[in-house]
Structure 1
């Protein structure tokens, strides 16, 4: 479901999110802002010279040839511009509305660049098994810093899949859902400046970037600080526990 942002739209955003498990907010950032973050993203990756490729082994069967992916954890620790974006009310107000809470806490961030022609796909999965929480008040926001049409391997989601709760993932540790057809996921093409919000129970993935341009996104995972982790995991991310909106009523902070 696509919504053009306005603060008066927050209840509608929350209703669509509750029904479908996701909502694509159009134009949350201006085109100029998105272009700035795209440039900074590529500069950071070049500056830090990260050559590790996070492509999932289970993604190999989704493409005819080898694919590749660039990424960076914790961009906000390398560039203050990303820190400012984390606490921008345009983002945090929507995050709070869709979670149905007042307080929003950071879990982690990842910067992704799908290179042209062979940018890696992600098999269908839930984020839940990576960092399960007790009440499932955990969400994600994907900031699009450039256009992401279907040929760039845009995000795909299975509407309403969050309503079935946690699912059994591949027991070999690949954390994907081999029994869910990739074709059942609906493509969510986006423009630079759009932000896709979804729950960590929503089944999602993405295709191969077969275009001649990179696809640049920033993933921000956030949560209700009052929702405790069911298992202590994924605690290596810098800044986990940072308050993006409101206060932490528990005093746990980075737990």
Structure 2
């Protein structure tokens, strides 16, 4: 599935939308698995206070860290060659290592937004190879609060973030509405460099927006600090760890 053109686009723009990586029926099954898993967990809402201010009212978000430890379906998905082949091509490495996973569900009509930010601000690394893959398990048009990106922003390197009810870029200088919406269909996967400025809008539609986030890296890229640990961190999704620390 991966080709040189994909890698070039990713290096230039900092993101890549891969259409139809998984089938619609697969996406529907994973959607059901996400909602079933969240129904078994104690409700927790990670919405940033600053996101609610941007939304102009009460919004909600459902999530789950380390999804593969709660459902084998996600353990299979994160090592699926359709995904890991593309991840390896974008990293420029045969080896792909897991950083963490998260399920995000934006409920219908009031799904929380995210102000523009770089993931690098939350878990910086020394070589900046870290990438994200956002699996879409249902359609994500702009009305459902799709991801918005600032193409090419990864070339600026790490940017200063502010702690203002969340850890993100100053909204006055980085308004969400000026970022480019990346609408997606069920089965599409959006890849992002962790240096690419991105966020997402409010889900104002009548259907939830359901995604799985997989953060991955070259195993030779070390964390710059002891932050954002997860239960699955360090798992090899493809290849080997050529220089294990253990």
TM tier relative to shorter chain: over 0.9
Query: How high is the TM-score relative to the length of structure 2?
Result: 0.97
Q: Does 1:242 align with 2:235?
A: yes
Match of 2:202 in 1: 208
Question: Which residue matches 2:212?
Answer: 218
8 Å CA contact 2:50, 2:164 repeated in 1: no
Superposition misfits of 4+ residues, deviation over 4 angstroms: none
The 5 Å alignment of 1:63-74 reads 63-74=55-66
Q: Which residue of 1 aligns with 2:125?
A: 133
Deviations 1:99-149 (A, max 9, x none): 111100000000011000000000000000111000101000000000000
Instruction: Name the SS of the counterpart of 2:33 in structure 1.
Output: helix
State the Cα distance separating 1:62 from its structure 2 match.
Answer: 1.6
Aligned residue for 1:13, secondary structure, equals helix
Other-structure match for 1:198: 192
Other-structure match for 1:233: 227
Which residue of structure 1 aligns with residue 33 of structure 2? 40
CA spacing shift, 1:224–1:150, aligned 2, 3 Å: same
* 8 Å contact kept, 2:48–2:165: no
Distance 1:70 1:98 in 2: 29
CA distance in 1, matches of 2:163, 2:70: 36
Q: What are structure 2's unaligned runs of at least 5 residues?
A: none
Query: Superposition RMSD on alpha carbons, in Å?
Result: 1.1
- CA drift at 1:181: 1.9
The match for 1:183 is: 177
Distance 2:114 2:47 in 1: 8
Contact 1:58 1:176 in 2 (8 A): no
SS at structure 1 position matched to 2:58: coil
> Paired residue for 1:13?
6
Q: Distance in 2 between matches of 1:140 and 1:72?
A: 16
| Structure 1 gap ranges (5+) | 1-5
Contact 2:50 2:165 in 1 (8 A): no
Instruction: State the alpha-carbon separation in 2 of the partners of residues 108 and 188 from structure 1.
Output: 23
Pick from 53, 70, 74: which aligns with 1:78?
A: 70
Q: Secondary structure at the match of 1:123?
A: strand
Q: Who is 2:24 aligned against?
A: 31
Match in the other structure for 1:111: 103
